[in-house]
Structure 1
């Protein structure tokens, strides 16, 4: 079970034109917005990364508006763990469980999740908050990550696990997001 005291969120490369080209991009962006809002309501640390932002553009406006206090960490390797600033942000967050979402599922999300797992973190892929240009690549990423010990969760499932109790702070916000 996820524990809100020990869980953070990583948002990978939901940026530029690519964010609009992935399969079901409107659903991906809307779900990721809900996930970020839920994470914020529950007080989770959030780490935002962008792949080569000068070439691919910045995080989409819908997310950027929510993440003004979370400056994007630029990266050039597909695996965010190879960017020292990312590793520092992960360490500074002081949690060992990470929800991960973003694009492309089979490239940057996959490689980052794998590396975090190898570093000893518990990682859960939020399957309805990841996508790739081709849906079969998203399925491949989910299948391969699952076979390698990465947890698979969904937007609603992870938020309810984290809130845990209908009397808890953040419950009404979570309920409003998933209704």
Structure 2
């Protein structure tokens, strides 16, 4: 139902599952394991997997902290997008990669819930994509010392409000990894 013409395919966006980003994340190991399962299912369904990595002064390209966690491995030929902003579309070739694959729906997993995940799901939706957030395959660190809710509440709130996102000609949805339909 995307508003993008002739874009009937789905892609999986794996956002910022990098060593330094998720090292202190809420339920890191379980979340990464669910992401790995979604990646394998996407590959099995011939759904393009797009790996997005934050690159900045803290996450220097090529450094250990910048690297994707060892439990996940991009396959040969899978797109890799380097970004400097929260929204994975902002000043990156992501839209071109998705257009090349005729993608009109994105499925989003990764980190951090209250930053790059939120920015990217909103960025995708306003650009006309149907946007699915996998409820148990995104995470964030504990920023409660700076006034944020605990990470489990940040994740729950993001899942709650995204299920009510709407706009003409597009679908926003929240689905658990076990219930995710990729095609």
TM-score category of the 2 structures, normalised to the smaller one: 0.7 to 0.9
1:154 alignment counterpart: 176
Alignment partner of 1:92 is 2:114: no
More helix as a share of residues:
1
Deviation of 1:17 (Å): 2.4
Q: Which of 15, 19, 25 does residue 18 from structure 2 map onto?
A: 15
Specify the SS of the correspondent of 1:116. helix
> Is the CA contact (8 Å cut-off) linking 2:31 and 2:138 kept in structure 1?
yes
Deviation of 1:105 (Å): 1.1
Q: Which of 68, 86, 101 does residue 59 from structure 1 map onto?
A: 68
In 2: Cα distance, 1:142 partner to 1:162 partner: 19
* Cα deviation digits, residues 106-152 of structure 1 (max 9, x gap): 21011111111111110110111111112222122222322323200
Output the aligned Cα RMSD.
1.9
TM alignment of 1:1-179, pairs within 5 A: 6-52=9-55, 53-54=59-60, 56-64=65-73, 66-133=74-141, 134-149=151-166, 150-158=172-180, 161-162=181-182
Q: Which runs of 5+ in 2 are unaligned?
A: 2-7, 142-150, 167-171
In structure 2, relative to structure 1, the CA distance for the partners of 1:86 and 1:162 (3 Å cut) is closer
* Cα deviation digits, residues 81-101 of structure 1 (max 9, x gap): 103312211221212111110
In structure 2, relative to structure 1, the CA distance for the partners of 1:146 and 1:38 (3 Å cut) is same
Q: Which runs of 5+ in 1 are unaligned?
A: 164-179
Mean CA deviation greater in 45-54 or 122-131: 45-54
Q: TM-score, normalized by length of structure 1?
A: 0.80
In 1: Cα distance, 2:116 partner to 2:103 partner: 21
How many residues are matched? 157
Specify the SS of the correspondent of 2:26. coil
Deviation of 1:61 (Å): 1.6
